[in-house]
Amino acid sequence: MSATFASALAAAREAASSQNYPQQALYVVATPIGNLADVSLRALHVLELADCIACEDTRHTQALLRAYGIAKPAGGWLSVHQHNEAQGAQEVVRRLQQGERIAYASDAGTPGVSDPGARIAAAVRTAGLAVVPIPGASSVTAVLSAAGAAGEDAGFVFQGFLPAKPQERQQAVEKLAGEARAVVLLEAPHRIAALADALAVLGERPVTVGRELTKQFEEIATLPCAGLPAWLAASPQRSRGEFALVLHPVAVAEDDREALRVLRLLLAELPVKSAVKLAAEITGAPRNALYELALKEKSS
């Protein structure tokens, strides 16, 4: 056990043990995306309680458990990853039907979100068994919270990884150009330069880049898409680590006469939120941009 985390397991037992953790249930456990201190107390308790831990990489998850002083016997592990998830899901169902509690953890973050885990959860539900989420760290929500681009008056789209082939990736970017909402992308270090070049065609549209989120060398920057290749090239370190990005919503230009006309008519009769919601539905303009314009109209 790491001396740094020596008290965490005891705290987890005290905080979470009074809850009910039924057998014959799959517990989908979110684990840290880099910083071990981001694990939740309930996650620790479930990982200790589980009869079996299914995971993307047993070596990776074993290292996490050792840090907190959790030990499992050799038979308490099941490797279920991208290449064997369909078969692994059936083994999970079989063991659940025998009365076990099983926790599933991917290498980092929340399973089933651009990570293995979705097929397992679907198979367990199809078998009529329970799936219990143990929420926690996620690069998606982490980068969104830092970008400030998906507030209560705006939505977002989770796109994940774009295609690896250049032509398919460029076609995907062209589709994103017409998406008015914020878009979350994920990328690996060996492909980030290619993604930056593809996104550069979006010009002045802002993008927030989150690199090595929660880790020692975390870096978060917001800049125009056109400047992303140069930002990466400015330092060799910037091409290292895992990336989560947010394409900000398409802005409504102040000379967009139709959107402004509709918004002004509605503001004369309705509260700001209601006016913005209806204006977005009528004109197709993004809510958060209309909300900013509405605030300007009110203040003037």
Residue 89's pLDDT is: 96
What percentage of the chain reaches a pLDDT higher than 90?
A: 73
Give yes or no for residue 35 having a pLDDT over 90. yes
Q: Which of 67, 31, 33 is nearest to 215 (CA)?
A: 33
**DSSP state letters, 186-242:** EE-GGGHHHHHHHHGGGTT-EEEEEESTTSTT-EEEEEEGGGHHHHHHT-GGGGSS-
Give yes or no for residue 40 having a pLDDT over 90. yes
Tell me: the pLDDT tens digits for 256-276? Answer: 778 888 888 998 889 888 888
Residue 54's pLDDT is: 97
What's the one-letter identity of residue 72?
K
Give yes or no for residue 28 having a pLDDT over 60. yes
Q: Which residues contact 134 (CB under 8 A, 6 or more apart)?
A: 27, 28, 29, 30, 40, 42, 43, 46, 103
Residue 263's pLDDT is: 87
For the chain, what are the domain ranges?
Answer: 3-137, 140-148+155-247, 257-299
What percentage of the chain reaches a pLDDT higher than 70?
A: 95
Tell me: the pLDDT tens digits for 227-262? Answer: 999 999 999 999 999 999 999 987 666 557 788 888
Residue 85's pLDDT is: 93
CATH superfamily of 140-148+155-247: Tetrapyrrole methylase, C-terminal domain (3.30.950.10)
Give yes or no for residue 148 having a pLDDT over 70. yes
Assess if CATH 3.40.1010.10 describes domain 3-137.
yes
- Going from the C-alpha of 141 to that of each of 53, 91, 109, 144, 246, the distances in angstroms are 25, 31, 10, 5, 10
In angstroms, the CA 167 to CA 300 distance is: 47
Q: Which of 246, 249, 298, 252 is nearest to 272 (CA)?
A: 298
In angstroms, the CA 282 to CA 276 distance is: 10
Residue 164's pLDDT is: 94
- Split at pLDDT 50, 70, 90, the class of 288 is low
- Split at pLDDT 50, 70, 90, the class of 300 is low
Query: Radius of gyration of the chain from Cα atoms?
Result: 23
- Split at pLDDT 50, 70, 90, the class of 297 is confident
Tell me: the pLDDT tens digits for 11-23? Answer: 999 999 999 999 9
Backbone angles phi, psi at 207, to 5 degrees: -135, 135
